[in-house]
Chain A
Amino acid sequence: MDTVAGHARAEEHQQHPIAIYLWIWALLFIFSTFSYLIDYFHLHGYLRWSLIITFMLLKAGFIVAVFMHMAWERLALKFAILVPPLCLLILIGLMAVEGDYTFLTRLAAFLR
């Protein structure tokens, strides 16, 4: 009934094959397992951080691009949503510098 009428106008613009969702779903599981194993096997230093951030960005990218359908939106919408968060990188950079500075001042004050 509903489905019969639906097939006639099934050409909605956000209609994609189910296979692509299953692939992304599987990838998210794999990346999460890898992230967990990084902690489980006590990796440290730059290796740990490069792997954690790589898996994090891959997961975030796949969720936004495929699950949230951003890959199929017009460039104007992509820019409007994805460019403003780049300002946050400045905030993060400033606060990292600020945190280091506070840490050093605390050390200087406590160790005097």
Chain B
Amino acid sequence: MAEHALTTSGESTSALPGLPGVVSDWSADKQAFPVPWGKAMMWIFLLSDTFIFTCFLTSYMNVRISTTVPWPNPSEVFSLDIGGAHIPLILIAIMTMVLITSSGTMAMAVNFGYRRHRANTTALMLITAAFGATFVGMQAFEWTKLIREGVRPWGNPLGATQFGSCFFMITGFHGLHVSAGVIYLTVVALRVWRGFYDRKGSYETVEITGLYWHFVDLVWVFIFAFFYLW
């Protein structure tokens, strides 16, 4: 009652900014989040995924702190010899750049989607998917290299036994997310190209796909810092 009296401009109370806005959004008998349901659900899904990845990274932290055997040095394990030069961690640096590039092209795709540039949106989404596929390819190369060097989930010749299980679990689960994202992006890009979202009258699905893709990049930021730079 009092809040209705406060909004003299005739606007709904749901448009209140700041903390009073939180209270009115949650307490009124109405939809709490003024976003498309697909977007809200994607955020909730990403929240649950945050918990999963944090559990993986936390268990990795725990076994790495508690082991008495020296941990293999990631800087050396993931180095490559390019043109006779020995460059530490270069493979992971390139993978990081590839994923960030794909995140940028995805952000542009969402922007062009809202501007209803169908061709640009499709092209940028397909480029994003191609960068994603490149990333997965490099990860396959990395796995092959480590497996050839004798790294297994139950042991490795480089140091602490837990290195292998943490590596395959964390990068494997992330790689699975990237692979799923490549398929998701391709499906949505083809729908954009066929004009599905023009007929639907909304390009929100492109933004929702973008949320998923940026999250994959976000997880990599943490994996890069904690698994590769530790």
| Chain A contact residues, CB within 8 Å of chain B | 2-3, 5-7, 10, 12, 14-16, 18, 21-22, 24-25, 28-29, 32, 35-36, 38-40, 52-53, 55-56, 59-60, 63-64, 66-69, 73-77, 79-81, 84-85, 88, 91-92, 95-96, 98-100, 102-103, 106-107, 110
Is A35 a contact partner of B54 (Cβ separation < 8 A)?
Answer: no
Q: Chain B residues near A35 (CB, 8 Å)?
A: 96, 224-225, 229
Within 8 A of A (CB), among B102-134: 103-104, 106-108, 110-111, 114-118
User: Main SS of the interface on chain B?
Assistant: helix
Q: Chain B residues near A80 (CB, 8 Å)?
A: 32-33, 43
| Chain B contact residues, CB within 8 Å of chain A | 17-19, 21-22, 25-26, 32-35, 40, 43-44, 46-47, 50-51, 54-55, 58-59, 61-68, 75, 88-89, 93, 96-97, 100, 103-104, 106-108, 110-111, 114-118, 195, 198, 203, 207, 210-211, 214-215, 217-218, 221-222, 224-225, 228-229
**Known pairs A68-B215, A95-B58; A56 contacts B221 (CB<8 A):** yes
Question: Would you give the shortest CB distance from A32 to chain B, in whole angstroms?
Answer: 5
Q: Chain A residues near B100 (CB, 8 Å)?
A: 25, 28-29, 32
Is B43 a contact partner of A2 (Cβ separation < 8 A)?
Answer: no
Q: Chain A residues near B18 (CB, 8 Å)?
A: 75
User: Main SS of the interface on chain A?
Assistant: helix
Question: Would you give the shortest CB distance from B101 to chain A, in whole angstroms?
Answer: 8
Q: Chain B residues near A18 (CB, 8 Å)?
A: 108, 111
Of A60, A85, A103, which contacts B221 at CB under 8 A? A60
Is B68 a contact partner of A76 (Cβ separation < 8 A)?
Answer: no
Q: How far, in whole Å, are A106 and B65 apart by their CA atoms in the complex?
A: 11
Q: How far, in whole Å, are A64 and B103 apart by their CA atoms in the complex?
A: 11
Q: How far, in whole Å, are A59 and B46 apart by their CA atoms in the complex?
A: 17
Q: Chain A residues near B210 (CB, 8 Å)?
A: 67-68
A–B Cβ pairs within 8 angstroms, 18 of them? A2-B198, A14-B114, A24-B107, A32-B224, A35-B229, A39-B88, A39-B229, A40-B89, A68-B215, A68-B218, A75-B18, A88-B51, A91-B55, A96-B65, A98-B62, A99-B65, A103-B67, A106-B68
Q: How far, in whole Å, are A7 and B32 apart by their CA atoms in the complex?
A: 30
Of A2, A15, A95, A102, which contacts B118 at CB under 8 A? A2
